[in-house]
Amino acid sequence: MVSAALDLAPEAGTGSVAAGATLQIQGISHGFVLQNEILPVLHDITLRADPGEFVALLGASGCGKSTLLRLCAGLDRPRRGRLQMDGVEITRPHPSRVIMFQDPTLFPWRTVWDNAALGLEARGELRHGRSRVDEVLSLVGLGNFGRAYPHQLSGGMAQRASLARALVNDPRLLLLDEPLGKLDSLTRLTMQGELTRLWQQRGFTVLMVTHDVEEALLMAQRVIVFSERPACIRADLQVGLPFPRRRDDPELLRLRHEALGLLGLEAIW
Amino acid sequence: MSAIASVSPAATEGLAAFDDDVPRPARLLGAAGLAWLGVAAVVLVWPDAQEVARTDLLGTLAAVLGGVLLLSWALGWIVPAVARLGHRAPWLCVLAVALAAWETVTAKLDLLPLPFFASPQAFLEVYTDDYPRLLDCLYHSVVLLAKGYLLGAAVGFASGVALGWSTRIGYWVHPVLRLIGPLPATAWIPLAFFVFPSSASASVFLIALATWFPTTVLTWSGVASVQTAYYDVARTLGAGPRFLVLKVAIPAALPHVFVGLFMGLGSSFAVLVVAEMLGVKSGLGWYLQWSQGWAAYANMYADLFIMALMCSTLITLLFRLRDRMLAWQKGLVQW
Ligand SMILES: Nc1ncnc2c1ncn2[C@@H]1O[C@H](COP(=O)(O)OP(=O)(O)O)[C@@H](O)[C@H]1O
Ligand SMILES: [Mg+2]
């Protein structure tokens, strides 16, 4: 379905294909005030993602992965440390770095098409971008569902619509917060492949949060393993395998073992 | 595609049978027609014990209705759409029996004390003889209600959005809302009729006030309960504050807003009737008061019936509007 739309050529003025951004996270610490006490969530995180790189963040539930992603998106400001995209400080949200949440968070009062067009409409660019919305919807396989409302979609379709809403803006940094976490296992396998191919075609930088070790190793070039809360970086695993990857590749199995060990789950393996 | 193709032929036949079920003329529709012809016979043949006019008209109307029903029953064999009238047939039968009973105990046997229990003929006579005044009253009530309701709904919507959106506005409006809002609008009647230049403008104010409170509170709670995730999504895609209010907060709050508008409409009816009874010299509420003064109970019942139709129609219109605007929701209550 993705290959059918391989020729999604950049239009004049809507960005270019090889457009990944550099993300620099320098000494970030963050926490939340809970009952007059500070709950430390992130501790001194330093991380760099090069243009076009696919980085996965792996960690136990509640360790602070989503928090880090929100900081990267500019939705919240860190208590300490600096965040930069292409050398520019991240102080607020910007459509060049789009976050996709675990829930599709589609607007139920808008059709799929209008949901996908949200960014263009918000910035007043819809008049010139209509064909772009159509293109992206067929790219994610929802070409015929533009007029459906979110409650008429399956979980996988809703997540695709959410992906389309992000891609319409030609993001240079895509922040994925467990994007496949709630999907059934078959849909999940399909979408893992589709996301990887999309990333290869479009060349944006990806930071993807997941708690699924295999998913991280199948999709990412680097896997960052976090400790328990407050999260700090425990390991930075390079996954040098070519795409498409095989689940039973011995190198992948070895990395899986290593990652599970770092998460304190050796005994299970 | 393949899933549809693999549906077994038996299942498809079952669906076809289901389709066939509906358009068959209901036998009860024929029965209803006969019942109404029976009513006509009772009215026309049995001599009146009370002194009433319009007996002929009542009988003729019943006969015409009976004829029409019999005709649609017969037509139902040819035109399936007409056969769908069948589901009204039980109601039509019961109404025929009720009317016959009412006619018997009033006009025909004179069993019930007269000024309170009017006969069907007397009821009909109000419409044939006093319709100009009734139409005039209906017109005035609708205009007054529309002015007050639209004003109250508009102000209520605006203040609700402002309360839900801006903490600074909320700081000033919230205490006022808490103190003034729960007070029934009718409590302002003595003051309003004294302060406002005319009783009409006072009534508009009172109706608007009654509409304003529920509309504000529910719009406010609707805006306040919008998921923050919606704002996060819109903000990352480059939305400014204007877009966040108009395209995120308001559409998300609309289901609540309509509950507020519905409740406001209910309280505006109450205030309308009371205001017309106390100050305004026209309208259905005034007619109610006026006919009671003349012990013209038939006029009162006729007026109440029109009032019920008016209120019900307005509620229906509001629900239609809601269904149109909230078409994206599933499982809406059908009014
Ligand atoms: N807005 C918030 N206010 C208070 N605590 C929060 C907030 N957001 C997250 N937390 C806390 O921070 C910790 C990390 O949350 P999160 O980043 O969502 O974890 P995860 O790694 O599962 O995505 C959790 O213990 C959570 O309770
Ligand atoms: Mg999370």
Give the residue, A10 or A187, on which the prediction is more confident: A187
B240 chain-A contacts, CB cut-off 8 A: 122
Cβ proximity of A213 and A29 under 8 Å: no
**pLDDT at site B2:** 41
Mean pLDDT of A8-36: 71
Tell me the pLDDT of chain A averaged across its residues: 87
From chain B residues 210-249, the ones with a CB under 8 A of any chain A CB are: 227, 229-230, 232-240, 243, 247-248
**Residue B95 pLDDT more than 70?**
yes
Cβ proximity of B77 and B25 under 8 Å: yes
**Residue B312 pLDDT more than 60?**
yes
**pLDDT at site A262:** 86
DSSP β-ladder status, A205-210 and A173-177: parallel
Instruction: Name the H helices within A168-227.
Output: 185-202, 213-219
Sign of the four-CA dihedral B252, B254, B259, B263: positive
Q: Which amino acid is at B283?
A: G
Q: Which atom of ligand 1 is nearest to the CA of A64?
A: 17
At B114, is the pLDDT very low, low, confident or very high (cuts 50, 70, 90)? confident
Burial label for A72, CB within 10 Å (0-12, 13-18, 19+), is: buried
Segment (H or E) for A83: strand A80-85
Cβ proximity of B248 and B232 under 8 Å: no
Range with top average pLDDT, A210-214, B25-29, B59-63, B181-185: B59-63
Segment (H or E) for B211: helix B199-224
From chain B residues 253-312, the ones with a CB under 8 A of any chain A CB are: 254
Cα B306-B307-B310 angle, rounded to 5 deg: 85
**pLDDT at site B24:** 62
Task: Decide: A67 in ligand 1 pocket, CB within 6 A.
Answer: yes
Instruction: Tell me which DSSP letter residue A249 carries.
Output: -
Sign of the four-CA dihedral A198, A200, A204, A205: positive
Cβ proximity of A57 and A226 under 8 Å: yes
Cβ proximity of B91 and B28 under 8 Å: no
Distance of residue A68 Cα from the nearest chain B Cα, in angstroms: 15
CA atoms within 13 A on the CB side of A182: 14
B235 chain-A contacts, CB cut-off 8 A: 75, 93
Q: Which of A110, A103, A104, A116 is nearest to A149 (CA)?
A: A110
CA atoms within 13 A on the CB side of A148: 14
Distance of residue B228 Cα from the nearest chain A Cα, in angstroms: 10
What DSSP assignment string belongs to A130-183? HHHHHHHHHHTT-TT-TT--GGGS-HHHHHHHHHHHHHTT--SEEEEESTTTTS
How far is residue A212's CA from residue A235's CA, in Å, rounded to a whole number? 16
At B127, is the pLDDT very low, low, confident or very high (cuts 50, 70, 90)? very high
Mean pLDDT of A199-227: 92
Which residue's C-alpha comes closest to atom 1 of ligand 1? Answer: A32
The per-residue pLDDT for range B256-291, each reduced to its tens digit, is 999 999 999 999 999 999 999 988 888 999 999 999
Task: Name the β-bridge partners of A57.
Answer: A209, A224
**Could you give the C-alpha distances from A37 to A31, B36, B168, in angstroms and in order?**
10, 79, 28
The per-residue pLDDT for range A179-202, each reduced to its tens digit, is 888 888 888 888 899 899 989 988
**pLDDT at site B28:** 87
**Residue A10 pLDDT more than 50?**
no
**pLDDT at site A18:** 45
| Crossing angle of helices B199-224 and B250-278, rounded to 10° | 160
Q: Are the beta carbons of B236 and A75 separated by less than 8 Å?
A: yes
- The ipTM value here is 0.87
Q: Which of B249, B236, B253 is nearest to A101 (CA)?
A: B236
- Cα A40 to ligand 1 centroid, rounded to whole Å: 10
- Cα A62 to ligand 1 centroid, rounded to whole Å: 6
What percent of chain A stands above pLDDT 70?
92
Taking every pair of Cα atoms in chain B, the longest distance, rounded to a whole number of angstroms, is 82
A165 chain-B contacts, CB cut-off 8 A: 233, 237
At A26, is the pLDDT very low, low, confident or very high (cuts 50, 70, 90)? very high
At B333, is the pLDDT very low, low, confident or very high (cuts 50, 70, 90)? low
How far is residue B100's CA from residue B81's CA, in Å, rounded to a whole number? 30
Task: Name the β-bridge partners of A55.
Answer: A207, A222
Beta-carbon contacts below 8 Å between A and B: 71
**Residue A12 pLDDT more than 70?**
no
3-state secondary structure A90-133: CCCCECCEEEECCCCCCCCCCCHHHHHCHHHHHCCCHHHHHHHH
**Could you give the C-alpha distances from B271 to A109, A248, B197, B206, B280, in angstroms and in order?**
34, 75, 19, 7, 12
How far is residue B220's CA from residue B250's CA, in Å, rounded to a whole number? 10
**Residue B218 pLDDT more than 50?**
yes
How far is residue B248's CA from residue B227's CA, in Å, rounded to a whole number? 10
The per-residue pLDDT for range B40-59, each reduced to its tens digit, is 999 999 999 988 889 999 99
Sign of the four-CA dihedral A229, A231, A233, A236: positive
**pLDDT at site A58:** 92
Cβ proximity of B62 and B36 under 8 Å: yes
Segment (H or E) for B102: helix B89-103
Delineate the domains of chain B, giving CATH numbers in brackets.
9-109 (no CATH), 131-329 (1.10.3720.10)
At B23, is the pLDDT very low, low, confident or very high (cuts 50, 70, 90)? low
**Residue B210 pLDDT more than 90?**
yes
What percent of chain B stands above pLDDT 70?
91
At B214, is the pLDDT very low, low, confident or very high (cuts 50, 70, 90)? very high
Range with top average pLDDT, A17-31, B78-92, B137-151: B137-151
φ, ψ for residue A207, nearest 5 deg = -120, 110
What DSSP assignment string belongs to A60-75? -TTSSHHHHHHHHHTS
Sign of the four-CA dihedral A162, A165, A168, A169: negative
Chain A residues with at least one Cβ partner in B under 8 Å: 70, 73-75, 93-95, 97-99, 101, 103, 105, 107-110, 118-119, 121-123, 149-151, 165, 169
Distance of residue A94 Cα from the nearest chain B Cα, in angstroms: 5
**pLDDT at site B242:** 94
Q: Are the beta carbons of B238 and A93 separated by less than 8 Å?
A: yes
Cβ proximity of A168 and A119 under 8 Å: yes
Sign of the four-CA dihedral A33, A36, A39, A43: positive
Q: Which of A219, A218, A231 is nearest to A262 (CA)?
A: A231
Distance of residue A219 Cα from the nearest chain B Cα, in angstroms: 25
What number of other Cβ atoms are within 10 A of residue B51's Cβ?
8
Mean pLDDT of A158-178: 93
What percent of chain A stands above pLDDT 90?
56
- Could you tell me the two tokens for B316? 């229906």
At B27, is the pLDDT very low, low, confident or very high (cuts 50, 70, 90)? confident
